[in-house]
Structure 1
Amino acid sequence: MEAGMGGSGRPGTRPDLVIFDCDGVLIDSEPISLVRLTDNLNRIGVPIDLDTVARRFTGTSMTSIMAHIAADYGVTAPAGFADEVRADTLRAFEAELTAIAGVAEVLGTLPDRRCVASSSDPARLSHALTLTGLLPLFGGHVFSASMVKRGKPFPDLFLYAAERMGADPGACLVIEDSVPGVRAARAAGMRVFGFSGGGHWRHDPAAADLLGAGAALVFDEFRRLPELIAA
């Protein structure tokens, strides 16, 4: 499935930098993470189900999630809650985590400069990318929302990544799987492709959701990325 029309950092040219989200783009972690988050929220008294968590919080930092939980449900997380969720999720990763099909092959041949910019914390990012064998493919260029003041859907993380990589935001291409991530990329002045091949996208409006947020196109097979960048 593909929707929208092509182009890269600037339409008709290759991007100076390709910025990849991690969860749901490089690794098929979102189904695992969302289940663990839902169970832990239920544990502290938040009456929320998996579908609601997936719809509202996919691609969102833990800081933003807990702010929404406090505002909408009146539940303040106990001390150490975020660390407990993180540890629980990492244990599940050890047993279940896989890379998105085709990622290693594509990154092994893609000529463009690249980095990762994710809402996940640095420890989780490093652990997940190491488990799936993808970390060496980014040469240490991995950036977390914990490095900036505001997470997605604000543009701070993408702008920070571009600055650290010495790239003009207008010449960057972002690969994102979530509405907050697409909105963050567009707010940063970057072109963005939506990816809907992760296990958490189980509903038909995936393309409409990402296109509506500002993605130039949506694709669901990672192996198609080189041809889409070249278009």
Structure 2
Amino acid sequence: MTGNEQTTPSLVIFDCDGVLVDSEPLSLACLTAGLNRIGVDIDLDTVRNRFAGTSMVSIMGHIERDYGIAAPAGFVDEVKAETLATFDRELQAMRGVAEAIRSLDLPVCVASSSDPVRLRHSLTLTGLLPLFSGNVFSSAQVARGKPFPDLFLFAAAQMGAEPTSCLVIEDSVPGVTAAVAAGMRVIGFTGGGHWGHDPGGADLSRAGAASIFSDYSNLSKVITS
């Protein structure tokens, strides 16, 4: 990419969970409790390290392959229902994110591993949905979720943007990996509650994030840096 393309993206693509809404501590806790109930010996830190930013389809495939436990009928729907109920009680938008997005004079959209119901539920609960004018894309719309590039490429195509002119805001290694594979510049966000273990975002940098930030008051600055 040229320097101009780096400083002036034609589209900013936001992940949702852990980027727009502080959902990961809630959803990962629900997932861990659910997996423990069906006999998977796994703790919260392992779930966070292995599965943050990935879809339930991918997660359950890993569980069956690595732990030899197939989810019983209805398990995924049960965990999703528990997660949404927890969101209703506790979910918050990231501090300052709404103001930061409103201040951008750039097209924006969302591209998330969450299923469409959870995705819109989260954005509606936190009042963020109107900021994206319906431009909200889910991994359910593509063949392969993150860490594959399909979702980001799909979002760019829907928005009429060239991948090389897009900037992605991500909080997970699979998400950063997907953005890099799509040929997009990616910035890592570590302001979510699940990033206490690595506030500097070393894992995201190793995966290919161009820079790291944790405070949305700095969004305009990091986008053009």
Per the shorter chain, which TM-score range?
Answer: over 0.9
Q: CA RMSD of the aligned region, Å? A: 1.4
Structure 1, unpaired ranges of 5+: 1-6
Query: How do 1:65-214 residues align onto structure 2 when only pairs under 5 Å count?
Result: 65-204=59-198, 206-214=200-208
What TM-score, normalized by structure 1, do the two folds share?
0.94
Contact 1:158 / 1:188 at 8 angstroms: preserved in 2?
yes
Amino acid at match of 2:204: L
TM-fit CA distance, 1:204: 3.1
Q: Confirm or deny that 1:225 pairs with 2:219.
A: yes
CA contact (8 A) 2:64 2:70 kept: yes
Q: Does 1:22 align with 2:16?
A: yes
Q: CA deviation at 1:205?
A: 6.5
Q: How many residues align?
A: 224
Q: Secondary structure at the match of 1:200?
A: helix
Q: Distance in 2 between matches of 1:188 and 1:138?
A: 21
Name the aligned partner's letter for residue 54 of structure 1.
R
1:73 partner letter = Y
Q: 1:214–1:130: structure 2 CA closer, same or farther, 3 Å change rule?
A: same
- Specify the SS of the correspondent of 1:218: strand
Identity of aligned residues (%): 66
8 Å contact 2:13–2:110 — kept in the other structure? yes
Runs (4+) off by over 2 Å: 7-11
* Residues 178-217 of structure 1: CA deviation (Å, up to 9, x unaligned): 0000000000000000000000001137521000000000
- Alpha-carbon separation, structure 2, partners of 1:229 and 1:136: 22
Q: CA deviation at 1:10?
A: 2.6
Separation (CA, whole Å) in 2 of partners of 1:47 and 1:9: 49
Match of 2:5 among 6, 10, 13: 10
CA distance in 1, matches of 2:174, 2:38: 25
| TM-score normalised by the chain length of structure 2 | 0.97
Counterpart CA distance in 2 for 1:131 and 1:22 is 13
Matched residues in 2 for 1:9 and 1:18: separation?
Answer: 15
